[in-house]
């Protein structure tokens, strides 16, 4: 099989030196990619942290055949790389484990003189007329204001674009992470999210348990709790099985 794996975090830029990102390093996606290669598949890995792969493989011979790593940094980088690779139709499976930014900055502002934000009521107030904000956009936003307000707008869901916009018809795997939910809630959220994106498989876990286990499914009609050490193998076995079934059909 020819498999595309996304891994790592995305940055969204506030200015030329500041960004918003998340805590994820791409170890899960790197591990999946390495295991897929070891099982004989051709792998393209899009990752924000290629050094993670090198650290995992320290002391081993370099990967050469059937192995490509392409680095990205920002949300726009990852979207452009996926848009350039997927529509060609060469991939049999896409495993989208990258932790993608949900929002991107659309302006940074400071309150104009006489403008105040009343926290208890959650409203702006102007002492000398209507409240107003001053646009502080710059190559490097100055740190001379008592407070700054960052406007965020939603980014496109890249996993939703895979089938809808880029026409992918192979096996699609989605990842979902939640915080502070129980097992039943996580399974319900995961399945709803899987169907929304048209994904074939979902790997879902909580931040609290991410280092130990994940739910993987639908397998045999439901979600199965698997250890983190099992996840890579169980996921790839499921991907291979779906690919074989579709090929025979």
Spatial separation of the C-alpha atoms in residues 197 and 191, rounded to whole Å = 10
Pairing of strands 123-126, 115-118: antiparallel
Q: Which two tokens stand for residue 240?
A: 């291979």
Last residue in a domain, options 115, 130, 153 = 153
Last residue in a domain, options 88, 120, 153 = 153
Are both 187 and 141 inside the same structural domain? no
Are both 113 and 141 inside the same structural domain? yes
Are both 79 and 113 inside the same structural domain? no
Spatial separation of the C-alpha atoms in residues 187 and 113, rounded to whole Å = 50
Are both 33 and 109 inside the same structural domain? no
User: For the chain, what is the domain count?
Assistant: 2
Spatial separation of the C-alpha atoms in residues 82 and 184, rounded to whole Å = 33
Spatial separation of the C-alpha atoms in residues 173 and 94, rounded to whole Å = 6
pLDDT per residue as tens digits for the range 190-248? 999 999 999 999 999 999 998 899 999 999 989 999 999 999 999 999 999 999 998 88
pLDDT per residue as tens digits for the range 96-119? 999 999 999 999 999 999 999 999
Q: Smallest Cα–Cα separation from 71: which of 10, 135, 146, 16?
A: 10
Spatial separation of the C-alpha atoms in residues 3 and 34, rounded to whole Å = 11
Are both 239 and 161 inside the same structural domain? yes
Strands in 149-154's sheet, in edge-to-edge order, are: 133-135, 103-111, 149-154
| Per-residue CA distances from 144 to 99, 136, 140, 148 (Å) | 33, 11, 12, 10
11: DSSP letter: B
The domain of 112 spans 104-153
Are both 185 and 236 inside the same structural domain? yes
pLDDT per residue as tens digits for the range 120-134? 999 999 988 899 999
pLDDT of residue 126: 93
Are both 192 and 216 inside the same structural domain? yes
Helix (H, G, I), strand (E, B) or coil at 30: helix
- Start-to-end CA span in the chain (Å): 17
Are both 89 and 117 inside the same structural domain? no
Spatial separation of the C-alpha atoms in residues 54 and 60, rounded to whole Å = 9
Are both 75 and 173 inside the same structural domain? yes
pLDDT of residue 60: 81
pLDDT per residue as tens digits for the range 10-53? 999 999 999 999 999 999 999 999 999 999 999 999 999 999 99
**CATH number reported for the structural domain that contains residue 191 in this entry:** 3.40.50.10300
DSSP track, 118-182: ETTTTEEEETTSS--EEE---SS--S-SS--EEEEEEPP-HHHHHHHTT---SEEEEEEEESS--
Are both 24 and 74 inside the same structural domain? yes
pLDDT above 70 covers a percentage of the chain that reads 100
Q: For the chain, give the mean pLDDT.
A: 95
Contacts 24+ apart (CB under 8 A), 51-55: 52/7, 52/8, 52/25, 52/26, 52/27
Are both 97 and 204 inside the same structural domain? yes
Q: Smallest Cα–Cα separation from 103: which of 152, 54, 30, 47?
A: 152
Are both 9 and 97 inside the same structural domain? yes
Q: Smallest Cα–Cα separation from 159: which of 86, 237, 74?
A: 86
Last residue in a domain, options 153, 180, 213 = 153
pLDDT of residue 46: 98
């Amino acid at each position: 099989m020819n498999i595309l794996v996304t891994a790592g975090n995305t940055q969204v830029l506030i200015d030329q030196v500041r960004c918003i990102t998340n805590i994820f390093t791409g170890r899960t996606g790197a591990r999946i990619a390495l295991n897929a290669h070891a099982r004989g598949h051709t792998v393209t890995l899009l990752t924000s942290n290629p050094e993670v792969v090198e650290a995992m493989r320290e002391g081993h011979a370099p990967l050469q055949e059937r192995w490509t790593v392409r680095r990205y940094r920002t949300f726009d980088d990852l979207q452009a790389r996926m848009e350039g690779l997927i529509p060609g139709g060469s991939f049999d499976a896409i495993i989208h484990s990258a932790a993608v930014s949900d929002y991107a900055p659309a302006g940074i502002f400071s309150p104009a003189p006489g403008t105040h934000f009343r926290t208890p009521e959650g409203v702006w107030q102007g002492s000398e007329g209507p409240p107003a904000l001053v646009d502080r956009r710059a190559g490097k936003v100055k740190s001379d204001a008592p407070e700054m307000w960052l406007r965020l707008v939603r980014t496109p869901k890249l996993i939703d674009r895979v089938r809808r916009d880029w026409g992918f018809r192979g096996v699609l795997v989605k990842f979902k992470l939640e915080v502070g939910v129980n097992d039943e809630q996580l399974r319900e959220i995961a399945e709803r999210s899987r169907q929304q994106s048209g994904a074939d498989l979902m790997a879902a876990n909580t931040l609290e348990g991410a280092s130990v286990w994940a739910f993987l499914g639908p397998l045999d009609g439901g979600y199965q709790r698997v250890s983190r050490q099992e996840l890579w193998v169980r996921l790839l076995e499921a991907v291979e099985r779906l690919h074989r079934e579709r090929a025979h059909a």
